[in-house]
Amino acid sequence: MFKREGVVALYGEHKQTLQSLVLLGDELKQRFYGIDDAIDAMILSVAAGEALLLIGPPGTAKSSLVRAFCRRIGLIDKSSNAPGAKERPYFEYLLTQFTEPGELFGFYNLAALSKATPVLERLDAGMMQHARVVFLDEVFNASSAILNSLLAFMNERKFHDRGSVVPVRLEYLVGATNDIPTSPELRAFFDRFLLRAWVRSVAPEREEVRNLLNAAWRETHSPPTADLSFDNLLEQLKDFRSLIDRLTKAGKLVIDLEHAFAGHLADCISFVRSTSHSEMSNRRLVGFAKIILVQALLRAAREDNREPVIELNDVKVLLKFGVDRQSEELDRQFVQVA
């Protein structure tokens, strides 16, 4: 899909970063039973800097997974998330239909309006615009005012505040929902989540139940103390994405128009659209080019390859994490691609 020169340069510079991501993903899979796909989607999305939506019923460890991930990369601790801290790196909120924008971005300081020279300012210490990672639970419960603010927040990394455009620190956003939205007014917001991962309750089989109980009991009452540190991982991933931009600007990381991948990808897009598995907008299609690149790089890092090779099978990531719904028909297509 991409010409070899840029892919090799990107991999050579950040092989260690990619291997750290693989190790972190493996650790989380040991801790959380039965949600390997969600963990794979999280590793892919944080590397690419794209939003992830976790879809599943209550009690399937969606929130626990996000918190465990953020704790392992050093974003959740007592000092950085202390009350009153201006820039807490991790922000989490459960949205309802009654949630007000001020709960996310900060309420206005009423005391400042009573001064001799009134000033309209936000009390924004520790609010969402200062966080590097944001987790929004029940994300589609938000009001239209919040959804409109989140569109620019997610895509442009900007917060529109009373006519002013304020850059935000956001590097990674995860949303969670019990159900996929069906109302037309939510479709634009749903489209912003490039990757979607389904999380299901464990199957009622003895082995499945035993494995879940074993892992969940340890995670609840005695989370592991890990030897490896991933505290610098976000900074490394920021450099990784920056190098993608620089290599592209230099003409080294470019799409290979002659590669058979383009036709294979077109077939998959045609399938998901014709079967109503996904509308697959142009924005999401372009975004998945980066996801497929990252998928190939992570696979090379896991296998400790000298050079990465993007394979046609890497398009499977679109069928796995790019659709609006899952079905047996999609599973059959997935097997054919494999």
Q: pLDDT confidence of 112, banded at 50, 70, 90?
A: confident
CA distance to 73, 125, 246, per residue, from 80 (Å) = 13, 12, 32
What's the token pair of residue 205? Answer: 């089989």
Which 8-state DSSP code applies to residue 60?
S
pLDDT at 60 over 60: yes
Q: List, in sequence order, the alpha helices (H) in 33-143.
A: 36-48, 62-72, 101-105, 110-113
pLDDT at 222 over 70: yes
Contacts of 267 (CB under 8 A, 6+ apart): none
146 within domain boundaries: no
Least confident range of 48-62, 66-80, 280-294? 66-80
133: amino acid identity, one letter: V
245 within domain boundaries: yes
59 within domain boundaries: yes
148-151-153 Cα angle (round to 5):
110
How many structural domains compose the chain?
A: 1
Tell me the pLDDT of the chain averaged across its residues.
90
The pLDDT of residue 335: 66
pLDDT at 119 over 90: no
The pLDDT of residue 79: 46
Q: How far apart are CA 45 and CA 52, in angstroms?
A: 6
Q: pLDDT confidence of 81, banded at 50, 70, 90?
A: low
Nearest alpha carbon to residue 123 among 147, 107, 135: 107
Across 103-109, average pLDDT? 89
The pLDDT of residue 78: 46
141 within domain boundaries: no
Structural domain including 325 reads 4-75+171-337
The pLDDT of residue 322: 95
102 within domain boundaries: no
248 within domain boundaries: yes
147 within domain boundaries: no
Q: List, in sequence order, the alpha helices (H) in 183-258.
A: 184-191, 206-221, 233-249
280 within domain boundaries: yes
Q: Domain containing 282 — which CATH number?
A: 3.40.50
The pLDDT of residue 84: 54
Across 213-222, average pLDDT? 93
Across 290-304, average pLDDT? 96
